Amino acid sequence: MAADRNVISGNSVDGIQISGEAADGNFVRGNYIGVDVNGTADLGNGGQGVVIYLGADNNTVGGTAPGAGNVISGNNNGIAINDASTTGNLVRGTSSAPIGPAPWASAIT
Ligand SMILES: [Ca+2]
């Protein structure tokens, strides 16, 4: 999965927005968000790395399978989940290490 990752970095606003009542059941897996293609240098997005809001429900960032974790670093904020109508979202396999100690860890720094 790692070779298939997206590099979502260097945007002036948010890296990924999952927004609105219909934005339910999405997965964000295996990406570099806010770092360079090697996953080692700061290339942060100007807003959130990932933001889930305005009624987006039951979305998953990361996961427990090998390669499902994201590296989310260098952004203004790592992950934001906002608004009372935004429910049931999961952030899985998190780690404070620059790249998680297990291949499935999401590193959020
Ligand atoms: Ca919804």
pLDDT, tens digit (0-9, with 9 covering 90-100), for 25-75: 999 998 999 998 888 888 999 999 999 999 999 999 988 888 888 888 888
Q: 88 C-alpha vs ligand 1 centroid, how far in Å?
A: 10
* Tally of domains in the chain: 1
Average pLDDT, the chain: 84
Tell me the per-residue pLDDT of 69-105, one tens digit each, with 9 for 90 and over.
Answer: 888 888 888 899 999 999 999 998 665 444 443 333 4
Q: Which residue has the tokens 């608004």?
A: 83
Q: 57 C-alpha vs ligand 1 centroid, how far in Å?
A: 5
- pLDDT for 1 equals 46
Contact 80, 54 (CB under 8 A): no
Domain that holds residue 65: 1-109
DSSP code for 105: P
